[in-house]
Amino acid sequence: MSIDLAYFELPFRVPHRVGTTTLTARRGVVVRKRLGRRVGFGEVSPLPGAHRETLAQAVESLIEGVRNSSSPMLPSAAFGLSCAVETAAANPRYGLADQPRTVDIGVNALFSGTAEDARAAIESGAFEGFRTVKLKIGRARRADDHRLIQTAIELLPREVRLRLDGNRTMGLTGIVGLLRDVDTRRIEYLEEPLRNHTDLCELARRTQVSVAIDESLYDPEALEHVLGAPGIDVQVVRPSLMGSLEEVEAVITRGRINGMDTVLSTALESSYTIALVARLATVMEVGDRDHGLSTAPFLSQDLVDPMPVVGGRMALARALPVPSLEFVPAEKFTLPASARA
């Protein structure tokens, strides 16, 4: 198999925090695969603080895997190559035929900040039309998180539901206390807020709020404990942390067998990958939930024009956008020194 590669660097509008890592830009590589007259593209951009592999390791894995088909690839490399191959083939199995099945899909709004920032965003109409709003919690004091949640509940229309994402930063007692006087009917789910995955079922029982898993999907020991467990009704799947599109499909199917809906998201990848994952959402049996794909505004530059989001719906273009980059054959590709850390 022969492929071409191109490096990219996309700055964030403001520095972006992922776990304990603060990023100023997204760095990655786009894979180009030719199949007859057709050309397909895939993105390889492991996110520091989320992926276990670095970009340098992913690129090395990609090139070695292409050279030696028996070599297993790291997840972000397998994802990027798979996307390139399947888009070149216009594979309808993954929603990659020339035209999407639907004209749009539902997406959630995403907010990280203070209660005052949330008030300003809501009053400016930033969340207008969204059915769901995801709030980042667990980074500030409990009182600050409480004010944020209450502000959202008070100011957003009653039909809007909240997703509270704690990124494994909290303890069971703390979040139960946080929600004690909150109208939990307004909360769609709690997205893996606990440091200890063994407490997730107890969290669902005490709060009577559904729990979604994210980080546990990439932790075999945790996954064995929580998959399909009582109160754990949703899995948030970031495809590039899983591997190839075939592996992503298997994860979605496994979740469905265990009674779980799937919310598809990305690891702050470019609008090209967002568009591709949006198409994947139209053909996979994921349940009727909004997806976590409204992250393009975090970037000040992008590989392609972002998909328009109006009233909480992301429009799907008739054809996938094409990244405009300078490609070279993989055997001649060199990652810039600044991207090897």
Spatial distance between the Cα atoms of 192 and 132, rounded to a whole number of angstroms:
17
| pLDDT score for 211 | 98
Q: Please report whether residue 241 resides in a domain.
A: yes
Provide the whole-model pTM.
Answer: 0.95
Mean local confidence (pLDDT), 284-302: 92
- The CATH number that applies at residue 54 is 3.30.390.10
Residues 328 and 274 in one domain: no
Q: Please give the tally of structural domains in the chain.
A: 2
Residues 278 and 223 in one domain: yes
Share of the chain above pLDDT 70, in %: 100
Average pLDDT, the chain: 94
Spatial distance between the Cα atoms of 139 and 170, rounded to a whole number of angstroms:
9
Spatial distance between the Cα atoms of 61 and 6, rounded to a whole number of angstroms:
16
In the predicted model, is pLDDT for residue 21 greater than 90? no
Range among 14-28, 66-80, 138-152 rated most confident: 138-152
In the predicted model, is pLDDT for residue 104 greater than 80? yes
Q: Tens digit of pLDDT for each residue in 195-210?
A: 999 999 999 999 999 9
Mean local confidence (pLDDT), 26-38: 96
Mean local confidence (pLDDT), 82-98: 94
In the predicted model, is pLDDT for residue 66 greater than 90? yes
Residues 200 and 64 in one domain: no
Q: Please report whether residue 54 resides in a domain.
A: yes
Q: Please report whether residue 339 resides in a domain.
A: no
In the predicted model, is pLDDT for residue 71 greater than 80? no
| pLDDT score for 254 | 96
- The CATH number that applies at residue 170 is 3.20.20.120
Residues 57 and 114 in one domain: no
Residues 87 and 67 in one domain: yes
Higher pLDDT, 337 or 180: 180
Residues 88 and 180 in one domain: no
326: amino acid identity, one letter: E
Higher pLDDT, 41 or 70: 41
Count, residues in the chain: 341
Mean local confidence (pLDDT), 231-241: 97
Mean local confidence (pLDDT), 102-106: 92
| pLDDT score for 6 | 98
In the predicted model, is pLDDT for residue 337 greater than 90? no
Reported confidence tier of residue 102, pLDDT bands at 50, 70, 90: confident
| pLDDT score for 116 | 97
Residues 260 and 291 in one domain: yes
Residues 51 and 121 in one domain: no
| pLDDT score for 184 | 97
Long-range (24+ apart) CB contacts under 8 A made by 32-39 are 32/3, 32/4, 32/5, 32/6, 32/84, 32/327, 33/1, 33/3, 33/4, 33/81, 33/84, 33/85, 33/87, 33/88, 34/2, 34/88, 35/85, 35/88, 35/89, 38/88, 38/89, 38/90, 39/88, 39/322
Mean local confidence (pLDDT), 183-196: 97
Which residues pair with residue 74 across a beta bridge?
Answer: none
Residues 76 and 140 in one domain: no
DSSP-assigned letter for residue 306: P
Q: Are 261 and 229 in contact (CB under 8 A)?
A: no
In the predicted model, is pLDDT for residue 98 greater than 90? no
Residues 88 and 172 in one domain: no
| pLDDT score for 97 | 87
Residues 55 and 116 in one domain: no
Residues 64 and 118 in one domain: no
Mean local confidence (pLDDT), 117-140: 95
Q: Please report whether residue 338 resides in a domain.
A: no
Q: Please report whether residue 340 resides in a domain.
A: no
In Å, the largest CA–CA distance within the chain is 61
Share of the chain above pLDDT 90, in %: 89
In the predicted model, is pLDDT for residue 341 greater than 80? no
Q: Tens digit of pLDDT for each residue in 33-51?
A: 999 999 999 999 999 989 9
Range of the domain at 134: 104-315
Q: Please report whether residue 337 resides in a domain.
A: no
Spatial distance between the Cα atoms of 330 and 307, rounded to a whole number of angstroms:
29
